Each structure stands twice: as C-alpha cells, then as structure tokens.
Amino acid sequence: MNQNYQATSVGDIEARGRVTLHNELALTGSEISINELPPGASVPFVHCHKRNEEVYLVVKGKGRFHVDGDEFEVGEGSVVRVDPAGGRCITADQQSSLRYICIQTEAKSLVQFTESDGVILETKPSWLQ
Ligand code: ZN
C-alpha cells in the first residue's frame, strides 16, 4: 500500500530558530517555515518574491511587520498575507520573542478548497468507530 503522507516533528523551535518543511515533508504545492526570532532579533533584510505569496501566522510573542514602508504591530493571532511584489520584513519586540509560521504558495494558483476539494470517505479512525 502506498503511504499517502509524511509526518515529522520539528522539535524545539526556540532552539532551532527556523525550520523549513518543503524537503522534510516532500511538499508539492507550498513551502512552510516555522520561525522563532529571539527578543530584539529581525530578519536581516527586506525581500519580495517572483511568484509566491506568503501568509505569516503569528503563534506566540510580539513584534512588528514591514510591507512596502507600512509598519504595524503583530502578536499572537495576527495573520498577514503579502503579495509576491510586497517588500517585507519582520522583527521581534525588544522584550518578546516572536514565533510565526510562514506559508508560501504560488499566487493565484488555488482553484478549489475546503468543501469544493474535500471528499468525505466511508472509512473511520479508531476513535469514531
Ligand atoms: Zn519570503
């Protein structure tokens, strides 16, 4: 039987700083990174992309986001989508680390999702028997 999944553990994000999942999970439609900036640390450059949009999901801490000269605070629960052309940078606050997940996908590539793509199967996991 083919294995239709890959599973991994990213372990201690605080210690690793940044983990990318494209290779680890053999992702075919996205790149996902899990990132931890210590207090006062910043991504050391502004960058944009050629084809990919990015979604930043802040899961812990506080920081600031920069896109094309706009700067705003982000914290747990903040979600920011940036078009490929947007020049972006992110930093942790001086007193707080910042943990975020960045999902990178080709802009305008999504043609169906959730109910239009999901198919409910008859099989059940052990906990739904
Ligand atoms: Zn990027």
What pLDDT digit, counting tens, does each position of 57-110 carry?
999 999 999 999 999 999 999 999 999 999 999 999 999 999 999 999 999 999
Cα(59)–Cα(10) distance, rounded to whole angstroms? 15
**Distance in Å, CA 37 to ligand 1 centroid:** 15
- According to the 3-state scheme, what is the secondary structure of 31-85? EEEEEEECCCCECCCCECCCCEEEEEEEEEEEEEEEECCEEEEEECCCEEEECCC
Q: Where are the domains of the chain?
A: 34-109
Helix, strand, coil percentages in the chain from 3-state DSSP, rounded to 5: 10, 40, 50
Percent of the chain with pLDDT over 70: 99
**Distance in Å, CA 19 to ligand 1 centroid:** 14
Structural class in CATH, domain 34-109? mainly beta
Residue labelled with tokens 């802009």? 107
Q: How confident is the model at residue 1 (pLDDT cuts 50, 70, 90)?
A: low
What is the pTM assigned to this prediction? 0.92
